[in-house]
Amino acid sequence: MRGSRMVMVAACFALAACGGGGGGSGGSNDQGISVRFTGVFQETREQVAPAADQLPTAEEAVGDSGTFVVLGTDQTVPRDYNDDGDLDGGFLGVANNMDQSVNLQSVSVEIYIPGAKLQNPVLTDSVPMASSLPPASVDEQGVRTPSVSFTQTVFVRPDVMAFLAQNQNLLPKPPFDMTVVMRITGISDSGDTFRTNKVNYAVAVLPPAE
């Protein structure tokens, strides 16, 4: 069963690296002690173009726990909710609590759809990331403050959405729930690989527009 699922995923994702990745010293970071995936966030203030949106910061970050997509219409998660030409939400937050920098490499993605005729996770993907976090800071009193980053990332890519739209016979009748489980991989200055804790993101999948 597992072999057939992997063949299906490989056939549908010629450009995607399937699976979760990891290795190195990542086992010591299972609960995000050194490098933590803090969640998914949205803009702190949405502006009308050409004014720039206000992006999440360490001082102000608004959580983004889920969204909805229309099957066969929306091509990515995150997506452009207000049709102003840029994506909304989908900022992946990471905190580095170490005394060395960390370069984020990728986010592994697993998609779970309860009631699907495929074995869960029905799809897996590995999405590249390009972000670097400096070391944590320590003040004169010895209080450590992690460095943080917020990287807007398309974690459900167009080929994933196309697969869902083209294989509706294998999925529950919409509307249905889809859970995106993510885990980020980074490499420290010393060359060690760290895999963060997992974060779940809820997506409500709506039927195609008539």
Domain map (residue ranges) of the chain: 2-46+56-206
What's the sign of the alpha-carbon dihedral 15, 196, 131, 178?
Answer: positive
Distance of alpha carbon 60 from alpha carbon 192, whole angstroms: 30
pLDDT at 55: 84
Please state the pTM of the whole predicted model. Answer: 0.82
Q: What is the mean pLDDT of the chain?
A: 84
The answer to whether 91 touches 42, Cβ cutoff 8 Å, is yes
Judged by average pLDDT, the poorest of 81-95, 152-166, 173-187 is 81-95
